[in-house]
Amino acid sequence: MKIELQTQKLKNLTSLIERVAGRHATLPVLSCVCIEMKKNVAVFKTTNLDIGFEVSLPVKSTGEGIVAVPAHVFSSFISQLSEHDSITTLEVVSGNLLVATAKSQGLIKTVSAEDFPTIPRITDGQEFSLPAELLVKGFKSVWYSASISNIKPELSSVYVYRDGDNIVFAATDSFRLAEKRVKAPASFKLNEVLIPFKNVVDIIRLLESIEGAVKVKVSKNLISFEDGSTYAVSRVIDGIFPDYRQIIPKGFVSEVIVLKQDILNSLKISNIFSDKFNQVHVTVDPKKKLFEIQTKNSDIGENKTTIDAAVSGERIEINFNYKYISDCFQSIDADSVSLQLSGLNKPMLIKPVSGDQTFMYVVMPMNR
């Protein structure tokens, strides 16, 4: 059993799928990439039972078969192959996998592929096609706001649903909330789905490698994404996402319009002097035309930065986690942002000033 394929394609593939394989003490095959060799096609599979990937590549082949090798060993070796070696050969030799180029070779010990679990296919449920770029934009705009704790699974997920003419992506950890709306094709039909945010990170990487449309299928327990050569399937969370619209401020008492880069730069400085809670003290004083950010750490020192901005409304002093504020700017393309403060101990709404108005971010204040 032997195949030949382009080295660069193999590198791109292994960097994509290696993250999915996890270290599993009781089932070592889950730490492997499974390579199924067919006539002129090699199928690379990996799964941790929470998410699974399958990627097919065209190859020159001799014989058929299946083999499983430790993903981190395989990926580490492939990543170090010279870019000048355009062709890589994979061959099963005495039960092990020989990986060879013109200038390098490695023999990787295999694991029995018989124990490799079947990656599930969805045969019922909702089905639709969406541009991969649209899905990437939606997921990337919100996933970082999900909770990293699994205590409440619905908070450690990205919530996707249809609202009128829009597909809505939302995530919250109860301290901040991100929502992104993208235009839905007329044929799009989806009630709602909760996808674990850890899986969303890998799904984004997969979708970024795809051009054009992706076929999406959703069942009670699974969601899958597929184009001609790539397939990913993730479990979904059985739960109810919080009614987050209740916490979105309906109005504001103070507003700051500021250049995104200016506030980002000031937050980077604030990070140097912030305390263990990442706390920044924000002062908005329209009479003095003042927008100021302060940080203080008893072990390091303190910092005060005044930022050029258009301020209006009432004077207010309030504390926030600077990381929660800075995270959202990766989702805003506009040069200027609006910070709308709804009062002391009340949430702040952040959104772009012009251009794309489909993103919204809410961050809760901190107590001193």
Report pLDDT digits (tens) over 266-303. Answer: 999 998 998 888 999 999 999 999 999 999 998 999 99
CATH number of 126-244: 3.10.150.10
Give how far Cα 353 sits from Cα of 151, 169, 326, 330, Å: 36, 20, 16, 15
Q: Supply the mean pLDDT for the chain.
A: 92
**Helical pair 197-208 and 132-142, crossing angle rounded to 10 deg:** 140
At residue 148, what are phi and psi to the nearest 5 degrees? -85, -5
pLDDT at 83: 77
Which of these, 166, 218, 211, 228, lies nearest to 193 by C-alpha position? 218
Tell me the chain's radius of gyration from C-alpha atoms. Answer: 25
Give me the pLDDT at residue 204, please: 96
CB contact burial 196-230 (16+ within 10 A = b; e otherwise): bbbbbbbbbbbbeebeeebebbbbeebbbbbbeeb
Q: Read out DSSP for 204-231?
A: HHHHHT--SEEEEEE-SSEEEEE-SSEE
Q: Where in the chain is the domain with CATH 3.10.150.10?
A: 2-115, 126-244, 248-363
296 class by beta-carbon count within 10 Å (0-12 exposed, 13-18 middle, 19+ buried): middle
CA pair distance 136, 204, nearest whole angstrom: 6
Regarding the domain delimited by 2-115, which CATH topology (the fold level of the hierarchy) does it fall under?
DNA Polymerase III; Chain A, domain 2 (3.10.150)
Residue for token pair 């969370």: 237
Q: Is there a contact between 71 and 33 (Cβ–Cβ < 8 Å)?
A: yes
Mean pLDDT over 150-160 rounds to: 95
Give the pLDDT score at 25: 58
Could you read off the pLDDT of 295-324 as tens digits, one per residue?
A: 999 899 999 999 999 999 999 999 999 999
Please check whether residue 106 is in contact with residue 75, taking contact to mean a CB–CB distance below 8 angstroms: no
Q: What is the pLDDT of residues 93-137, one digit of tens each?
A: 999 999 999 999 999 999 999 989 999 999 988 888 889 999 999
As a whole number, mean pLDDT of residues 25-45 equals: 89
DSSP symbol at 330: G
Q: Give the separation between CA 274 and CA 141, rounded to whole angstroms.
A: 26
Neighbour-count burial of 301, counting CB atoms closer than 10 A to its CB (0-12 exposed, 13-18 middle, 19+ buried): exposed
Residue 82: count of CB within 10 angstroms of its CB: 11
Give 185's pLDDT tier (boundaries 50, 70, 90): confident
Q: Model-level pTM?
A: 0.91
Check whether 368 has a pLDDT greater than 70.
Answer: no
pLDDT surpasses 90 at 217 = yes
CB distance 306 to 291 below 8 Å: yes
pLDDT at position 1 is 81
For residue 183, is pLDDT > 80? yes
Q: CA 169 to CA 179: how far, in whole Å?
A: 6
CATH superfamily of 248-363: DNA Polymerase III, subunit A, domain 2 (3.10.150.10)
In the chain, the N- to C-terminal Cα span, in Å, equals 66
